[in-house]
Structure 1
Amino acid sequence: MNKVFFSARAKDKTFKVFAIFCTFTCLLTLLVLIADILIKGLSRLNWSFFANLPSRFPEQSGIYTAIAGMVSLLFFTILIALPIGILSGIYLQEYGNKNRLAKFIEINISNLAGVPSVIYGILGLQLFVRMAGLGNSILSGALTLALLIMPVIIVSTREAIKAVPDTLREAAFGLGATRLQTIYRVVLPASFGGILTGIILSVSRAIGETAPLIVVGALAYVPFIPEGPLDQYTSLPIQIFNWTSRPQQGFVDNAAAGIIVLLVFTFLLNGIAIVLRNRWYKKTTI
């Protein structure tokens, strides 16, 4: 008995040491990569880098059009994906029937959340670029990214709403509220933090996506600012990808600087959303 006990403790300790080793290895690798990016890219972070258009000379090249395209793309993606994703999650959880068809839909939505992004790019190429005739415009890219992040929003919305205790719904019904009033005044405020977390994860994924944008025809060189949803565009991940494919060291430094900007943009967006979510949690628990 003692031998079995000590053997189990030894296995547990060995696994714990191995897990700690893997964690520190991953963290060390990440720190090395970030340090390499900072060393190469910090020297390029100046006003001209943000204000200049792309150029064939690395010291004159900038990310002005890439930032404008990324912000426009993200705006239309959120505008399309958020209402559809949140309303779909509400319907499936609060109104949908719990039958085999509902389970089939739920399984497929969960599976879609793990589909590689390039598959969504191929789908967007066929549906929006060719069949709908939108071409390589901001709208076709936004629709493709909206399809990419919508399953994450739907799943996170459903899970957040599912976590709301049924006693809150029963109390609202007991006071004479309708189902719509209960959802709007009770369920959504109680689940807002979880829904916002899903939105954070989905938008963060959309910011850094490159493969689907390449498939739907985002351009690597755009010497103008897009003025509408049907204009051609580029994005910061596309610009970084283009720079990394060039042999000149100057473009490699530009790519590192672009990665720093993209990381800061992602961390800032996540930070703002986390602050808003924490404030909402404090407000609902008071």
Structure 2
Amino acid sequence: MDQILSVLPVFLALVSTGIIAGLLAGLLGVGGGIVIVPVLYYIFQYFGVSATSAMVIATTTSLATIVPTSISSIKAHHANGNVDWLLLRWLSAFIVIGVVAGSLLVSKVGGAWLSGLFGIVATISALNMLLRSNAAPVANALPGKFGQGIMGSCIGFLSVMVGIGGGTLTVPTLTAFNYPAHRAVGTAAAVGLLIALPGVATMLLAGNVPIDAPIGNYGLVNWLGFVCIVPLTVYFSPIGARIGKQLDSAKLKKVFALVLAFTGIRMLLQAF
């Protein structure tokens, strides 16, 4: 009974994370990782995990949750013709190279450094939501093959290090080059799988379980968190989408951007 009572608060916190991530993904069209990483980061610390261990576990667990959700998303976007498989064929090798390099680095560097990097990515993402929602593209077409390769490697490298899928970096990058928004979102779903799958595999092989890891950890993934978050995220995302249709999505996005900016700045201050 005592063991059950000790797990119950962690279980309830993880269930809440899945519900919040699903609702926000549906409401605002944001990827789950940008929500899951900071929530898990603070939850694990609340239950006695060090900030260093909490960040690495939160990052890897977030990537694990992206694998099944991205597969579901790819199917839906492919059915609507919004996945650019030709572009992905060229980018995939560069994305995976960036992912493997970033994953190996995550398994070796400290959590404080990762917290700072997430803070930077979160703050830039928030500013992008606030300031560039109606901005003109920076170019009329994607760069050449070499430029696309660099772009793919950077997206894979940065995304895997902070535990996010393809949407947060891929969508604004593609749309900045005058790429159609719906096609960018669909293609980003496939990029998410290219980031998450090799990322989790590399971290499980290269990473060591922290001595203060929370209940349910194997390697750098908290599988209790995975089991709690994935079904709820999938279930509540359509509910969030239905709620979003009845609300002012532009205002909601601004509110989320402000919260994301606050979270990013707070993680930066905690890291440095």
TM-score by length of 1: 0.29
Q: Say which one has the larger Rg.
A: 1
TM-score by length of 2: 0.30
